[in-house]
Structure 1
Amino acid sequence: MGLHGSVHIEGWYQDSKLPHNWRIEVSPNGWTSDQIGLRWLQKVFIPETTSRTTGKYRLLVLDGHGSHLTPEFDKICSENDIIPIYRMWKGFNHMDKLDFLEAYPEARKQAFTLDNIKSGFRATGLVPFNPEEVLGRFTIQLETPTPPGSQSINSAPKTPYNLRQLEKQASTVKTLLKGHTQNPPSVLEMRLDKMIKGHEMALNEGILACQEIQELRASHEKQLQKRKRSRRQITAEEGLSIQEGQALVQGRSQEEEVMPTISMEPAPMAEYRSVGGAPLTCELR
């Protein structure tokens, strides 16, 4: 892992969830240097693959970055029976504006097919219009839905807490209304439809608000954790593994715990009597 900077920070290694054998390297511009490339080969790739190698040789697939093309890198590969294969070579890893303009029409043709477009509209609930395609993916559920078939038309109704419960209640009420009249939809049924629509909108807004609150709480907690991390610098000539960094932080903390504390209390005063009886005081040093 490469980071833009020139020093390591204690907070990177405090309570880190990264694996202990991962390494953090820093460079002035955030890019991998020749030295960092060599350290990665010697301290990461070789130790991690030695016990997993079947046969004599190991294959290392690389891009065309300059840090992978040095004589030192090639020498270490040869000494450890590593066969490097470079996927990009002689500048073919770059795409300029002309290359982009030539490649874009074909990429667009393959991406924007009729099936892909229809699938996108359907997955987002736009065509056909179905908000449940999106809202149904939220994990928030205010109350467990009543299992189908467990509530009859004549049983006591329960307050709906999600869209499915609301739709079931609405269907039940409309069925009861139709059973009591043979006339066209009454004013009562139209008012019921308006109430159902308003309830749907309120439920949708509540689901989105709960999701937003959860995200804000998680973000706030993350910021609090970051503020607790130490910003003190660690002096290191090269990169550190997570385990090495944690050992340095722990060692520094232990040294600070055993350092003697200097008392800030005033020095005691001793009192003497002169020949004439007047008190004299002096400070003990």
Structure 2
Amino acid sequence: MLICADRDSIAPTIIWKGQSFDYYSYIYSIAHSPKGWTDGVIGRQWIEDFDNKTRAKTNSRDRLLLVDGHNSHYTKDFLDYAQQNNIHVLCYPAHTTHIYQGLDVVIFSPLKRYWTTERDLFQSSKQQKITKANFISIYGKAHQRALTPENVHMAFKETGVWPLNPHVVTEEMMVSSVKTSSYGQLPLPMSSPVR
């Protein structure tokens, strides 16, 4: 999923578990992998898609791409492609996407809510299950509702990324977690295992 500081969003890459899938490839980027997760090959395809969908609107100027720490963003092919195409890749520090990544801070909550609404509406009105053949049309409605220009703008603003505001993230937000685990005791000793 990709959002841009100009309030734009770009259709997500959908990754299917399996060998191949052709539906909707003219609108969405469709990929597949044996487990349904991204990998280095899909990461490379994704950055090419990012380049193709953002180059024209930046008049081929340098672009900044902020990514999480997934290893598919750091293969040699991915980084070589980025360098050759004036894409500067920066990674959020480990365990901070809940603070810095606009998708986590603003977008994912309404997206989850809208997905649940659209899924439930589809299933109740059509009496059908979600399948690969109908997933994108259902998800697409939720995606469009959640990724409004205003939400995209707020994703950058709330994280201090754009407009740049280093005061958004406070020292208190960056403090390490405090151990809060407690240990309970049962009122009676456990009986020995049954033999």
TM range (shorter): 0.3 to 0.5
Bigger relative CO (Cα 8 Å, ≥ 6 apart):
1
TM-score under structure 1 normalisation?
Answer: 0.30
TM-score by length of 2: 0.42
Q: Which is greater in Rg?
A: 1
